[in-house]
Each structure stands twice: as structure tokens, then as C-alpha cells.
Amino acid sequence: MRVTELIESSKKTAFSFEILPPLKGNSIQKVYKVIDKLWEFDPKYINITSHHSEFIYKTLPDGSYQKVNVRKHPGSVAIASAIQHKYGIPAVPHIICKGFTKEETEYALIDLNFLGVHDLLLLRGDVKMLELGIDPNAYHSYATELQEQVNNFNKGIALDGSTFEANETPFSYGMACYPEKHEEAPNLESDIFYAKEKVKNGAGYLVTQMFFDNQKYFAFVDRLRAEGITVPIIPGIKPVVFKNQLTVLPRIFRSDIPEAFACELRKCKDDTQAKEVGIEWSIQQCKELIGHGVPSLHFYTLMASDSVHRIAREIY
Ligand code: FAD
């Protein structure tokens, strides 16, 4: 079954989470450990994040520096396949534009098709590649361009315009949306316009950026529904685990921290206390979302799988 079917057929609010591929060269066992820990909550599918490569400066023995290109967390395609085969539920690799050329994406789609992984999350990724002086034409600029490539692939049209026999099992996919506006969008209306484009052109569902104020999610969903968007809009939940996330998360993800939550975090003496406050906030947030009838909850588990376990124990 596809992600949307799994969500729609779930008797209770569906549960999903995302994992990060291990650091380059590290074992996949750590990934399995996270999944095993959260397995009791019956995840309907598991997302695997993708990461572009970046330049780092390596110090050489003579004290000079060498600029080297590294992909710190490679292997999203292979991990998706490994998870799907080990656990028997869909694995959803994130396919990003930035850091992967259009051609690399085409080869990834071919691999994923052979591996039987047909659910994707299509994203732009961040923009650092442009800062690295690499030919921007080799990359898509926006997630909607990547979406067009995937749609063409589904129809049997390759990047160079040549045609091939269309796959028996086309890719289906979700895409991102932003209840508090994407950092680069001139205004929320503009973001909503592109969310509509994503759905009009085939996104089966939308997953939100993390948010901590449910009222913003509810208002956003009402707005999208008024625009005629009927697909599931899955809330993305991020448990706060570090005290400094009080300022880091609003800066990086443009997610406001409501004053009641900020106030509790400010009182924390250390990260151990902040983690407890974060768990409690997420539990209350999830309970309210479930009460509101959301179709599914998607958890950002990075550095937070223990917290997600405790939250899930309370709400499922
Ligand atoms: P887009 O939809 O391309 O939007 C980017 C900006 O451009 C927005 O302001 C939008 O309004 C605007 N826009 C969109 N289309 C157009 C257009 N055609 N013309 C002009 N403007 C346009 N990042 C990673 O690197 N790896 C991951 O695995 C990853 N996973 C994520 C999972 C989720 C659920 C979410 C919400 C985000 C994730 N991200 C990930 C981060 C994401 O890549 C960033 O938020 C990125 O800045 C935007 O991605 P997008 O797909 O929303 O981009």
C-alpha cells in the first residue's frame, strides 16, 4: 500500500518518523536500533533524510589546508531499500534538488524502481551548493522542478527527452509545506500558491515543517482547505531536546516557540531539564492534534528518538 492509502486506512492517527543515514562509513545498525525502539508504535512508513555534500578544509601535515568535498550522510537510497525489506513497510527516501544533479536524480529513480521503493518525499534541500561555485544549471532550483522530472519519469520520459517503457509501478510522493511561511517566501500567500502547485501536479500529501503552536497549523490547514486542497496535511513534530533550541529553531526553521513553552525552557538549568519540558510540550501538542482529527503525526527524530519514544508511549 502507498503512504496515502496507509494513512487513510489507519484506524487511529497514523505514526511515522524520519531517520538520518549514518555518518559516512558507519554501520546501519544504529538506524535499525532507532526503528526497533519505535516499532511498538506501529509506524506506517519510515522516512530517510538526504544530505548534499559539502566542502570542508582538511589540515595537511605541512599546516596548509586542502579543500575536499564530502557527503557526510550518504546512502539514502540503499537504506530505504534495506529498511523496506527488513521491516516490510514502505520506506520513503527524501529526494532533494540541491546537492544532486538532475542526472544523479534520474539514476536514483532508476535504482529505486528496481529496488521496489516507490514512495518518495520531494524537496529542494538547502541552497548551499550554489555558494560552492558548481554549475547551477545541473540542479533543479525548486522542488516543483524536481516534481516535473519525477512526473516525466512516471510517464516514461527521460531527462534528455528520450522515452522508455513507463514503469508498471509509478512513484507516488509527498512534498513539504510551511504553516509559518518558508524563510525565503515573500509572504504566506506566495508559499500557499506553491503548495497548491505541488498538489495540483501530483503530490499525494503535504508534510509540514516543524511547528510548536498548533493554532498556526490549524489556521494554515483551514487556509489550504479554503483553497481547495484536500490531500492530507501531516503535522511535523519536533521534540525540543536542547535548551539552546529556544533560539536555534526559530532562527533556522522559522518556527515560533509560543511564550508558555519558551517560559518553561528559559527556567531550565540544563539540557536534561529542557528535554523533559520538550517531551511534555510535544505530548500536549500531539494530544490536541489527535483530538482535532489529524490523519497522521510525523516525528523528526534527529537527536530525539528517546523523546519520540516517550511521547509515543503517552499518545498511542
Ligand atoms: P520549495 O518548494 O522549492 O520552496 C522553496 C522556496 O521557494 C519557498 O519559499 C517557496 O515558496 C518558493 N518556491 C517554490 N517553488 C517555486 C518556484 N517554482 N518559483 C519560485 N519560488 C518557488 N532538507 C534536506 O536537505 N534534506 C532532507 O532530507 C529534508 N527533509 C525535509 C523534510 C520535511 C518534511 C521538510 C518540511 C523539510 C525538509 N528539508 C530537508 C528542508 C527543505 O529542503 C527546506 O525547507 C528547503 O529550504 C525548502 O524545501 P521545499 O521542498 O519546501 O522547497
- Could you tell me if the CB of 99 is within 6 A of ligand 1? no
Average pLDDT over residues 290-300: 97
Q: What's the CA-to-centroid distance between 171 and ligand 1, angstroms? A: 19
The bridge status of strand 65-70 relative to strand 14-19 is unpaired
Rounded to whole angstroms, the Cα distance separating 60 from 68 reads 12
**C-beta 193 within 6 A of ligand 1:** no
Residue with CA nearest ligand 1 atom 3: 142
Q: Say if residue 182's pLDDT is above 80.
A: yes
pLDDT at 222: 98
The lowest-confidence range among 37-46, 65-74, 275-284 is 65-74
The whole-number pLDDT of residue 128 equals 60
**Ligand 1 and 89: CB distance under 6 A:** no
* Closest ligand 1 atom, residue 182 Cα: 9
Ligand 1 pocket residue status of 176, Cβ below 6 Å: yes
Distance 185 CA to ligand 1 centre (A): 10
Measure 199 CA to ligand 1 centroid, in angstroms.
14
235 lines ligand 1 (CB under 6 A): no
Cβ–ligand 1 contact at 181 (below 6 Å): no
The model's confidence at residue 131, banded by pLDDT at 50, 70 and 90, is low
pLDDT at 103 over 70: yes
Res. 271: pLDDT tops 80: yes
What are the backbone dihedrals phi and psi of residue 271, each rounded to the nearest 5 degrees, phi first?
-65, -30
Q: Measured in angstroms, how far is the CA atom of residue 234 from the centroid of ligand 1?
A: 16
Residue 127 clears pLDDT 70, i.e. is over it: no
Q: What is the pTM of this model?
A: 0.96
> Is the distance from CB of 101 to CB of 139 less than 8 angstroms?
yes
Query: What pLDDT is attached to residue 173?
Result: 98
Output the pLDDT for position 58.
Answer: 87
Which residue among 53, 121, 194, 238 is best mutated to probe the pocket of ligand 1, counting the most ligand atoms within 8 A of its Cβ? Answer: 194
Nearest CA, atom 2, ligand 1 = 143
pLDDT score at 126: 79
Residue 261: pLDDT band with limits 50, 70, 90: very high
Closest atom of ligand 1 to CA, residue 127: 47
Give CA separation, 86 vs 31, 33, 80, 288, in Å.
12, 13, 10, 33
150 Cα to the center of ligand 1, angstroms: 16
Q: What percent of the chain is modeled with pLDDT above 70?
A: 97
Displacement of CA 108 from its chain's centroid (Å): 18
